[in-house]
Structure 1
Amino acid sequence: MRLFLLIGLLLLFQGISLGQEKLKVAVAGLTHGHVGWVLDAHRKGDLEILGIAEANRELAERLCNNYGISTDLIYPNLELLLEKIQPEAITAFGNTFDHLAVVQKAAPKGVHVMVEKPLAVSLEHGLEMQSLAKSHGIHLLTNYETSWYPTNHFAKELTQKGEIGDIRKVVVRDGHRGPKKIGVGKEFLDWLTDPELNGGGALMDFGCYGANLMTWLTEGERPRSVTALTQQLQPENNRNVDDEATILVQYPDKLLIIEASWNWPMGRKDMEIYGLIGAIYADNRNDLRVRIAEGYDGYSEEKMNLPELESPYRDPFELLKSVVREEIILPKFDLYSLENNMLVMEILQAAKESATTGKTIFLEK
């Protein structure tokens, strides 16, 4: 009898210990189409959601019911939520304009924040968010789907080893057929196509990926200039914003070409890196090709299918937990880092100005 009691107590304490290891988070907003990531993480037990701040009660109840989350966790706004509970971190899944407000409310309480890409709707918002994060000593991370792609990480490793020679050109293509065509939810569509709430259209939605990846690949190298062209090819669907953006980001010895579009025939998130002796093609999350030049137009090619990254780099919430608990320290200009994403905001701001004025915008050194 005593043995069974001892085993039971051990299991109980083990359960308590495991429960304490979960990251305790609050969710600010539910209108982002990626919100299923955090709700599913709660369902799987990767983290514990203490509260959800969402003004649209119908939306909040519907999503909570879909994911088996108690509707008792719903609060009408973030202020009330933070009066009642003290999460370790907040994950923001509302519109991009509201990212600043989330940080304004969370930072003074010492609550860390992770937002969905991009960091902000403008450089002005980004600068205020950076100031709040630094003055209150919180982590402010930005989550991109491509941050946990094994192909991108292996591509960087290959470039660092000099496998393709010095980088001369990087081409990053991201996007899909357009929010309305792929059938995103009404709540997501309403703000994605709002120039104030999204900061723009395809330029902001998908242009940020290339800027983020290049800043990481070059370990924070500042570009010299940004030149951008935007178009509206689906005026019936994207009346108030651009849906096609081509951005040229010039560095002293290399060029970044960002092709951000809501007009691709299929969804894509891929990157090409061209060096002096070869090229790397990160075709998607797992498929990567390396070509080494042979003669004038020949090449040898190696294809590979890469396994997922090791924990905590395979999942944004595992990484958030590790950063908050100080189990890891992000390298400077890491994909999630504030330094990286502030430079992303400079590039995006310059791209919007260039597209509006028709001029090349030179960045300050």
Structure 2
Amino acid sequence: MISIKKYLAAAAMLFLSGITLAQNPLKVVVAGLNHDHIHGILSQYNKGNVAIIAIAEPNKQLQQKFARLYHLPENLFYDDLKTALAHQKPDAVLGYNAVGKHLEVVETCAPFGIPVMVEKPLAATLAQAKQIEKLANQYHIKVLTNFETTWYPANKTVYDMVDQDSIGIIRKMVVHDGHQGPKEINCSPEFLSWLTDPVLNGAGALNDFGCYGADLMTWLMKGRKPIAVTAVTRHYKPEIYPKVDDDATIIVEYPEATGLIEASWNWPFSIKDMEVFGQRGYIHALDNNHLVTRMRENKKGAKTAEPLAADISSPINYLTAVLRNKIPGTDDLSSLKYNMIVMEILDAAKRSAATGKRIVL
């Protein structure tokens, strides 16, 4: 359980961080409105935690929809990102467009020296990711990827326990990510139109949910690449998702450990959890806050994760800390370095599923 003293200290850090952000919020331009995660950043805007100085979105209906929902002024909107950046000078650009369009965002921002954060995964294909990496290196900009699971205190607790050698060397990691299906949970038509497209999303459930496990495993393995990937994809609902897979099982091999990624649009409920088996014990992050542990046979435990430090407690806090040089953003869940490995895993999984072969990296 969290001690009262630690809880109050963490709460105080979050409160002070909120004051700092409110006094000097990051100035951002939003690229795209057709990703349903957009509600998160617009809610933060309404709370004063981030300054959105422009929104680039070609779809006039989407402009009007979000203007009504979040009381956004008309002069905030531009039809394309280049025009927006010609008029506004942001600290960063946030990509809330189709994954297959992330490269276009970086191509536009990089020559201006503007950092970019996109929603997961980094790109639709490994080839696109390599072009993004080349641009980031050429123009010396940060390109970061936002995963919901990055901000789960339970996952950080698992990482810290492993790092402190509480369970010994990792032998197996199992990550479940999925839900009933994007149409079944009423994702917006604009989101579905590209999420279920093999070009704009790069795959179906394999890319959409497989990326979470690949990212978490890369983090737990401290940026080491796997040696091989094997995957099976299924198409249980072709009448709903005719163009892409809706279920994926990915085996990720490391020299001393095995990872199992289970990604699906076919489950009876939504789940994002992670299990880690070590030589001496087991940790299961049940959700964003709760864990259970078991050491050998009889030492069982349950705990609530302590709150994250302020600078790593949310996407905007993290991005602000990276851009203001409080944290490096080079070897973590959002970093370009780790997400290039994520893209290699996803690419190998797609090739394995297509050929029925184990792909050696």
Scaled by the length of structure 2, what TM-score is found?
Answer: 0.93
Instruction: Give yes or no for contact 1:143–1:316 (8 Å, CA) kept in 2.
Output: yes
Moved beyond 4 Å, runs of 4+: 17-20
Matched, 1:53 2:56: yes
Task: Tell me the amino acid that sits aligned with residue 238 of structure 1.
Answer: Y
Q: Where does residue 13 of structure 1 map in the other structure?
A: none
Matched-pair contact (CA < 8 Å) for 1:43–1:69: no
Match of 2:17 in 1: none
Corresponding residue of 1:37: 40
The offset of 1:325, in angstroms, is 1.8
Match of 1:239 in 2: 242
The residue number in structure 2 matching 1:12 is: none
Instruction: Report the counterpart of residue 8 of structure 1 in structure 2.
Output: none
Residue 119 (structure 1) aligned with residue 131 (structure 2): no
Post-superposition offset of 1:301:
1.2
In structure 1, how many angstroms separate the alpha carbons of the residues matched to 2:328 and 2:357?
Answer: 39
80, 83, 93: which one aligns with 1:80? 83
Residue of structure 1 in register with 2:10 after alignment? none
1:339-358 matched pairs, under 5 angstroms: 339-358=337-356
Cα distance in structure 1, aligned partners of 2:109 and 2:346: 25
Q: Give yes or no for the alignment of 1:315 onto 2:318.
A: no
Uncovered stretches (5+) of structure 1, i.e. residues with no partner:
1-16
Question: Structure 2: how far apart are the matches of 1:108 and 1:20?
Answer: 29
More divergent stretch after superposition (64-73 vs 23-32): 64-73
Task: Give the superposition deviation at 1:64.
Answer: 2.1
Measured against aligned partners, the alpha-carbon deviations of 1:234-273 in whole angstroms (never above 9, x if no partner) come to 1111110000000001111100000000011100100000
Q: Which residues of 2 match residues 119-138 of structure 1 at below 5 A?
A: 119-138=122-141
Partner of 1:251: 254
Q: Give the direction of change, closer, same or farther, for the CA distance of 1:89–1:216 in structure 2 (3 Å limit).
A: same
The code of the aligned residue for 1:340 comes to Y
CA contact (8 A) 1:195 1:240 kept: yes
2:183 match: secondary structure: helix
Instruction: Tell me the residue number matched to 2:7.
Output: none
Pairs aligned (count): 342
Contact 1:90 1:111 in 2 (8 A): yes
Aligned with 1:203 (options 189, 206, 216)? 206
Distance 1:241 1:158, change over 3 A: same
State the percentage of identical aligned residues.
Answer: 46
Contact conserved, 2:22 with 2:49, CA < 8 A, in 1? no
Superposed displacement of residue 20, structure 1: 6.4
Counterpart Cα distance in 1 of 2:250 and 2:244: 16
Helix, strand or coil: the match of 1:59? Answer: helix
The question of 1:359 aligning with 2:360 is answered: no
One-letter amino acid of the structure 2 residue matched with residue 326 of structure 1? N
Answer yes or no: is 1:178 the counterpart of 2:148: no
Structure 1 distance, partners of 2:87, 2:56, is 12
1:125 & 1:136 partners in 2: Cα distance?
17
Amino acid of the structure 2 residue aligned with 1:362: V
Per the TM alignment, residue 310 of structure 1 is displaced from its structure 2 partner at its CA by 2.1
Counting only pairs closer than 5 Å after superposition, residues 98-177 of structure 1 correspond to structure 2 as 98-177=101-180
Listed one character per residue, the Cα deviations across residues 29-63 of structure 1 (whole Å, up to 9, x for unaligned) are 00001001111111111110010000111111211
**Residue identity matched to 1:345:** M
Q: Secondary structure at the match of 2:116?
A: strand
> Please, which runs of 5 or more residues in structure 2 have no aligned partner?
1-19
Q: Does the alignment pair 1:268 with 2:271?
A: yes
Q: Deviations over 1:171-195 (max 9, x none)?
A: 0000100001111000001111000
C-alpha distance in 1 between matches for 2:113 and 2:87: 15
Residues 107-157 of structure 1: per-residue CA shift (max 9 Å, x gap): 100111000000000110001101111111111100000001001101011
Q: Report Cα offsets for 1:196-242 as digits up to 9, x if no partner.
A: 00000000000001110011111111111000000011111111000
Report deviation, 1:18: 7.3
In the alignment, residue 281 of structure 1 is paired with which amino acid?
Answer: H
1:65 correspondence with 2:64: no
Bigger mean CA offset, 301-310 vs 154-163? 301-310
Other structure's SS at 1:172 match: strand
**Other-structure match for 2:331:** 333
Question: What amino acid does structure 2 have at the position aligned with 1:319?
Answer: Y
Cα deviation, residue 333, structure 1 = 2.7
Partner of 2:299: 300
Q: Distance in 1 between matches of 2:160 and 2:87?
A: 45
CA distance in 1: counterparts of 2:353 and 2:151, whole angstroms: 31
2:93 aligned counterpart, secondary structure:
strand
CA distance in 1, matches of 2:97, 2:67: 16
TM-score (norm 1): 0.92
User: Comparing 99-108 with 19-28, which one deviates more in the overlay?
Assistant: 19-28
CA contact (8 A) 1:215 1:333 kept: no
Secondary structure (helix, strand or coil) at the match of 2:82 reads helix
On the 8 A contact 2:231/2:349 being kept in 1, the answer is yes
Q: Alignment partner of 2:248: what SS?
A: strand
> For the residues of structure 2 that align with 1:239 and 1:33, how far apart are their CA atoms?
21
Query: Does the CA-based 8 Å contact 1:287-1:304 persist in structure 2?
Result: yes
